[in-house]
Chain A
Amino acid sequence: MTSLLAQIITVTMMNIRSLPQRLWMSLAMVLASAVVVAILLAFLAMAEGFESTMNGAGSDRVAVLMREGSAAELNSVVSREQVNLIAESPGIARDGNNTPLVSPELYVVVDGLKKSSATEANIPLRGINAEGMAMRENMQLIEGRMFTPGTNELIVGAGVLREFDGFAIGEEVRFGKNVWTVVGVFSTGGNVFESELWADVTVIQSHYDRGSSYQIIRAQLATPGDISDLEKTIEQEPRLNLEVQTESAYFAGQGKQLQYMAIFGRVISAIMALGALAGALNTMYTSVADRAREIATLRTLGFSNFSAFCGTLIEALVLAATGGLLGSVAAFLFFDGLSASTLGGSFTQVVFSFEMSPDLFAQGAKLALLIGFVSGFFPAWRAARLPVIVAFRAAT
């Protein structure tokens, strides 16, 4: 048993030491598996980043109410009267002063200049009040101060600041005929709210002729995740043509789109992997053919078929793993933390970052090893089975 192990080690070391002789072919295989792994990781990192941006926004403790049938905030309208009815409904949490924690919000779309392309893109400008602010527990001002209610002041999400020009603190921004002053930068822990601008809700109502209407009601639930009381209220009160869902359910629905990207990425990298596999198989067959005489000599000397098999297989695995490692490092350097933005559910930009998690690296490593195994197995089989006489003849 030990001698078999020793044989395998000897053959493997020999193969690996002779790699420089087959430099170009070996590099080709490394490159091929590196590219496949890098593609897979790029797509997965994008999907993961987008998902965590969407999911991080949703809380189970908050209910979202919109006009029935409106798939997204932009399409919804909610009246002041409805807000009051909801505030009195059972199932809603109240603060120390017995004030119901209800945040009616209004949302308009404004243009910002994208840094990356210098083109205009849609940013949501959200009108919000103090309760709404309190409801977003992970919201914190990282710079500047809060806007003063009743004035044309706004605070800007960290994501907007990253992707768009002209939103630094103290700058004046013009939307239509209104001029706003940026007074603060807020972070909400990387979730989708960071892609927004926030200002006083009543100021937005008056600037944008919205009267006393809102688009969405956020309400803190007395029992997290339990919207049954609210559903009952809506059912009994004909004036409430609203739909209620928890915030986490709402954002999970909104995040669906980019999941298709992840599927697309997996399909592309699977197909690419087939192409890379063909290249890798070529490499390994050539490698075996190059060393036919070597292998034959070893076997004449008494090395077993199995050790010849293992030697070749390990060589392939080493090459593919090197490629996988290179690909992962490249993907990490290029994509981790890369800020990107795209059109979200309401015709507005969602800013998110590519996220490279350890789980992704594991997936990349698996793919690389799979390529290495398949591309090594068949040539190794051939190396082990090739009759010694034939090998000597072929080599001369």
Chain B
Amino acid sequence: MNNLYLIYKNMTRKPLRLFLTCFAIFIAFLIFTAVTTLKSALNSGIDLAADDRLVVVNRINFTKSLPIAYHRKVAAIEGVKDVTHVNWFGGYYQDAKNQIVTMAVDPESYLRVYEEVVLEPEQKASWLQARQGILLGRKLAEAQGWKIGDKIPLSSNIFSNKDGGHSWDFVVSGIFDGIDEHYDTRYALIHYKYFIETQTFGGDWIGWMTLVTEDPSLNQQVADAIDNSFANSQNETDTSTEKAFNKAFIEQIGNIGLIIFGVVFMAFFTILVVVGNTMALAVRERTGEIAVLKTLGFSAKRVFAMVLTESMLIALIGGFLGLAVGWVIIEGAKSSMAQFLPNLAVGGDIVGQALLYMILLGLVTGLIPAYNALRLNIITAFNRS
């Protein structure tokens, strides 16, 4: 009779209890996987931002624009390698709910600053020439089923066209990829010049600027130089790294996120405590049998290992099932959630964390009963039962 067979027999003695215990662990880890994945998807914008890129926005708020003249002034500041400017277009296709992230940019400098954007040379050339050309990210093009050469009317929920109405016609000049698969390509780029000449208000204003410095160590110095040069002007600026900017924006979602994650985490641990209690009880109940095993000549060490393995096995079976089903659910939800949370994926760090908690659960619930079994005095055990 080897250990594994004994463990198996012990575990399955009360199949219903085994099932219920595993099920509770399964639920706990299912929720853990889903919620931590959501959380990391929310934060992914921060992690992907480049270190050496700075964002210049209006000090009042990023929704307030800056004069286009600032672009040239910033380009002249020492330490600035390249700078581009961006306007938020507020685009949607046909239905206001079908939002298309569209930005009006200065094409050449944008492609220089955003090196993540990978584009075929001939597509790039054709976009630079076509005033009405629009550049689509691969994921966006696939989601909407648009191909190069397609004519697509986009509407804006902010601006209106000089011809009347809120729609602009664009022709797809190219489709770009990200430098790696994590780069979110669900957005479109249009020509700033075409946009500014055809809209009815807000001419010669830009939304914000993005720049790269010659060296990341110059970041602070450059940021200060930019903000100082516009201090006390009509439009003061606020320059920060792209990372800090994204982080500040995400933080605005605010304590709601914090409260939800707090509550769910508390629940996760409580379920683990409750389950752990059951598992520990299951071993305690068997004191008599452990005494028998010892009488039969099983070494204390062997009994210890068996008890611990059993609790580990239960924690791992339930935990892995939860992790797996969580993964399946996330994969299924990926496409429908892509518009809000493009980076929804169960990452390696989440799997690692889950594994750690499973091992902890197995250890904590198994260790004390196992230790008791190790020290169990046969005679007292028999007396007790």
Report which A residues bind B (CB closer than 8 A): 24-25, 27-29, 31-32, 35-36, 38-39, 42-43, 46, 67-71, 74-75, 77, 108-111, 114, 116-117, 119-122, 175-177, 208-209, 241, 261, 268, 271-272, 274-276, 278-279, 281-283, 285-286, 338, 340-343, 347, 349
The residue on A at minimum CB distance from B18 is: A282
The reply to whether B256 and A46 contact each other, CB–CB distance below 8 Å, is: yes
B residues with CB within 8 A of A: 16-17, 20-21, 23-24, 26-28, 30-31, 35, 58-61, 63-64, 90, 96, 155-158, 160, 166, 201, 232-236, 248, 251-256, 259-260, 263-264, 266-267, 270-271, 273-275, 277-278, 281
The interface residues of chain A lying within 8 Å CB-to-CB of B96 are: 69, 71
> Nearest chain-B residue to A375 (Cβ)?
B20
Q: A32-B270, A177-B234 are in contact. Are A120 and B248 (CB under 8 A)?
A: yes
Q: A281-B20, A340-B256 are in contact. Are A275 and B271 (CB under 8 A)?
A: yes
Can you list 21 A-B contacts with CB-CB less than 8 angstroms, sorted by A residue number?
A: A25-B278, A28-B273, A29-B274, A31-B270, A35-B270, A69-B96, A70-B158, A108-B64, A109-B64, A119-B251, A176-B58, A176-B59, A176-B236, A208-B60, A208-B64, A268-B35, A271-B27, A275-B31, A276-B271, A279-B274, A342-B256
In the bound complex, CA of A113 to CA of B366 (Å): 48
Evaluate contact between A278 and B236: CB separation under 8 angstroms. Answer: no
How far is it, in angstroms, between the C-alpha of A235 and the C-alpha of B21 when the chains are bound? 66
Measured CA separation A22–B7 after assembly (Å):
26
Which residues of chain A have C-beta atoms less than 8 A from B155's C-beta? Answer: 69
Q: Do A278 and B64 touch across chains, with their CB atoms under 8 A apart?
A: no
B residues within 8 A CB of A75?
Answer: 90, 157-158
Contacts of A121 in B (CB 8 A): 251-252, 254
B61 touching A276 by the CB < 8 A rule? no
Chain B: CB-nearest residue to A72: B157
Kindly list chain A residues whose C-beta atoms are within 8 Å of the C-beta of B156. Answer: 69
- Flag if A275 contacts B28 (CB, 8 Å): yes
**A282 touching B254 by the CB < 8 A rule?**
no
Instruction: List B contacts of A275 (CB < 8 A).
Output: 23-24, 26-28, 31, 271
Nearest to B205 among chain A residues (CB) is: A209
Q: Determine how close the nearest CB of chain B comes to the CB of A317; give it in whole angstroms.
A: 18
B266 pairs with A119, CB closer than 8 A: no
Q: Is the CB of B264 within 8 A of A268?
A: yes
- Quick check: B27 and A272 within 8 Å, CB to CB? yes
Chain A residues, Cβ within 8 Å of B23? 274-275, 278
Give the residues in chain A near B234, CB-CB below 8 Å: 177, 209
The answer to whether A70 touches B157, judged by C-beta atoms less than 8 angstroms apart, is yes
From residue A82, how far is it (CB to closest CB) to chain B in Å?
13
Q: Contacts A42-B263, A109-B64, A177-B236 known; A274 to B255 CB distance under 8 Å?
A: no
Q: Which residue of B251, B253, B277 is within 8 Å of A24 (Cβ)?
A: B277
B87 to chain A, nearest CB (A): 14
Contact A119 B255 (CB under 8 A): no
Closest Cβ neighbor of B279 among chain A residues? A282
On whether the beta carbons of A176 and B60 are closer than 8 Å, the reply is: yes
- A352's closest neighbor in chain B, by CB? B256
List A contacts of B21 (CB < 8 A): 278, 282
Once the chains are docked, how many angstroms separate the CA of A185 from the CA of B264?
36
How far in angstroms is the closest Cβ of chain A from B126?
A: 31
Contact B30 A271 (CB under 8 A): yes
Chain A residues near B236 (CB-CB < 8 A): 176-177
The distance in angstroms between the C-alpha atoms of A209 and B233, with both chains bound, is: 13
Cβ contact within 8 Å between A117 and B281: no
Docked Cα-Cα span, A160 to B27, in Å, equals: 39
Chain A nearest Cβ from B306, distance in angstroms: 22
A108 to B60, CA, bound (A): 9
Asked if A274 and B64 make an inter-chain contact with CB atoms under 8 angstroms apart, the answer reads no
Chain A residue at smallest Cβ distance from B236:
A176
A342 adjacent to B253 (CB under 8 Å): yes
Q: Give B13 Cβ to nearest chain A Cβ, in Å.
A: 12
Kindly list chain B residues whose C-beta atoms are within 8 Å of the C-beta of A31: 270, 273-274
In whole angstroms, how far apart are the Cα atoms of A109 and B96 in the complex?
Answer: 23
* B16 contacts A122, C-beta separation under 8 Å: no
Complex CA gap A274/B20 in Å reads: 10
Please indicate the chain A residues that have their CB under 8 angstroms from the CB of B253 in the complex: 342-343
CB distance A272 to B254 under 8 Å?
A: no
Cα(A359)–Cα(B23), bound, Å:
31
A161 to chain B, nearest CB (A): 17
Option from B201, B256, B266, B277 in Cβ contact (under 8 Å) with A25: B277
Q: How far is the CB of A18 from chain B (nearest CB, A)?
A: 16
A268 to B63, CA, bound (A): 35
Looking at B64, B155, B232, the one whose CB has the most chain A CB atoms below 10 A away is: B64
Measured CA separation A4–B381 after assembly (Å): 41
Report A290 CB to chain B, min CB distance, Å: 9
Closest 10 pairs (CB-CB, A-B): A275-B27, A278-B24, A109-B61, A278-B20, A35-B270, A278-B23, A279-B274, A342-B254, A28-B274, A176-B60
The CA of A285 and the CA of B18, in the complex, are separated in Å by 12
Whether A340 contacts B255 in the complex (CB less than 8 A), given A39-B263, A109-B61, A119-B248, comes out as: yes
Report the separation of the CA atoms of residues A122 and B251 in the bound assembly, to the nearest whole angstrom.
Answer: 11
A75 to chain B, nearest CB (A): 5
Q: How far apart are the CA atoms of A175 and B260 in the complex, in Å?
A: 32
Minimum CB–CB distance for A200 against chain B, Å: 17
Q: How far is the CA of A349 from the CA of B281 in the complex (A)?
A: 49
Q: How far is the CA of A283 from the CA of B266 in the complex (A)?
A: 21
B4 to chain A, nearest CB (A): 25
Complex contacts, A338 vs chain B, CB 8 Å? 259
- Of the candidates B27, B160, B264, the one whose C-beta lies within 8 Å of that of A39 is B264
Given contacts A39-B267, A275-B271, 17 further A-B contacts (CB under 8 A): A25-B277, A32-B274, A35-B266, A38-B263, A42-B259, A108-B61, A114-B254, A271-B27, A274-B23, A275-B27, A278-B20, A279-B271, A279-B274, A340-B255, A340-B256, A343-B254, A347-B63
Shortest C-beta distance, B200 to chain A (Å), equals 9
Give chain B nearest CB distance to A289 CB in angstroms.
Answer: 9
Q: Which of B270, B274, B275, B281 has the most chain A CB atoms inside 10 A of its CB?
A: B274
